[in-house]
Amino acid sequence: MDFDAMAASYETLEPWYQHLYGVLHAIVRAELAPPAGGPPLRALDAGCGTGFQAAVLESLGYRTHGLDISAGLLAMARRRRASVVLARGNLEALPYDDEAFDVVTCCGSTLSFVDAPASALAEIGRVLRPDGVLLLECEHRWSLDLLWGAVSSVTGDPLGYGLGPRDVWRQLTERGGQGCRVPYPGYGSLRLFTVGEVRALLDAAGLEPARMWGIHMVTNLIPSTVLHRQLLAPPLAALYRILGWIDDGLRRLPGAARLANSLVVLARKRGAPTTGGDL
């Protein structure tokens, strides 16, 4: 995917991302706010893009760093977020010392784009201090969007998923407990993860899952390819708002994340107590 080419319009969010980032930033503010009156803490936004999530971390009081592989996105971030310390680099080889950060966020499906997600999470575990926290968001293998892609693949692809029947069959049958890679229009190849796989990857990186949420559970009653348009027709936009409210309610139910298109996990580096959750 050519992130450099989309730098100028990166923060013009399609309806899909409006809901995704609305939820993500609410979780960041609720779960990652540092203790009042404590010493300044350091945060890394891994896969920071133009830095609009790094800005949320900075607003909470963190000394914030951002890393991205795209020079174009980082150039935009430097113009808009001059106080965030930015670096160009790869998640699989982070240019930071061991235990350099108190908090890391890795959202915007960043993990779904890297070639070696296990290496990326191992690097995040390395740069987190003991008791440090990771907020991870990635693409889920099992969701209603899989059904829409299947329907579109056998009806001439009216929804524009770009999938053939063989692609869908592979996604349905390829080692059910594991993730898989699938093509997605405009985004290249995306890695889709299962809940069990995410847990195993975190465990291998020395990270203990504490809580999990799902985003885009019932909003996927509308195909994602439709929600990746800039504007929705008014009746569809009204339906999407209603589905978004339902999605917000479902997110609080144990186990609901297993129905979601996007998995969000709060994990803590081992060696400290963890909170209970629905994992």
Phi-psi domain of 151 (left: phi exceeds 0; alpha: psi -120 through 50; beta: other): alpha
Query: What's the pLDDT score for residue 274?
Result: 42
Q: What are phi and psi of 64, to 5 degrees?
A: -105, 135
Which range marks the domain in which residue 60 is found?
A: 4-142+189-269
Q: Each residue of 237-266: pLDDT tens digit?
A: 999 999 999 999 998 888 889 899 999 999
Residue at 180 is within a domain: no
Three-state SS at 206:
coil
How many CB atoms lie under 10 A from the CB of residue 173? 9
Residue at 241 is within a domain: yes
CA distance 229 to 223: 11
Q: For residue 200, what is the domain's CATH number?
A: 3.40.50.150
Phi-psi domain of 61 (left: phi exceeds 0; alpha: psi -120 through 50; beta: other): left
Question: CA dihedral in degrees (181, 167, 140, 18; nearest 10)?
Answer: 100
Query: What's the pLDDT score for residue 4?
Result: 60
Residue at 160 is within a domain: no
Residue at 65 is within a domain: yes
Residue at 138 is within a domain: yes
Residue at 77 is within a domain: yes
Confidence category of residue 273, pLDDT binned at 50, 70, 90: very low
The DSSP secondary structure of 69-88, one letter per residue, reads S-HHHHHHHHHH-TTSEEEE
**DSSP category for residue 213:** E
pLDDT surpasses 80 at 1: no
Query: What's the pLDDT score for residue 169?
Result: 81
Residue at 22 is within a domain: yes
Confidence category of residue 275, pLDDT binned at 50, 70, 90: very low
Phi-psi domain of 160 (left: phi exceeds 0; alpha: psi -120 through 50; beta: other): left
Q: Each residue of 190-241: pLDDT tens digit?
A: 899 999 999 999 999 999 999 999 999 999 999 999 999 888 999 999 999 9
Q: Each residue of 10-52: pLDDT tens digit?
A: 667 899 999 999 999 999 999 999 988 888 899 999 999 989 8
Confidence category of residue 148, pLDDT binned at 50, 70, 90: very high
pLDDT surpasses 50 at 127: yes
Residue at 184 is within a domain: no
Most confidently modeled of 142-146, 170-174, 209-213? 209-213
Which is higher by pLDDT, 272 or 59? 59
Query: What's the pLDDT score for residue 278?
Result: 43
**DSSP category for residue 193:** B
Count of the separate structural domains present in the chain: 1
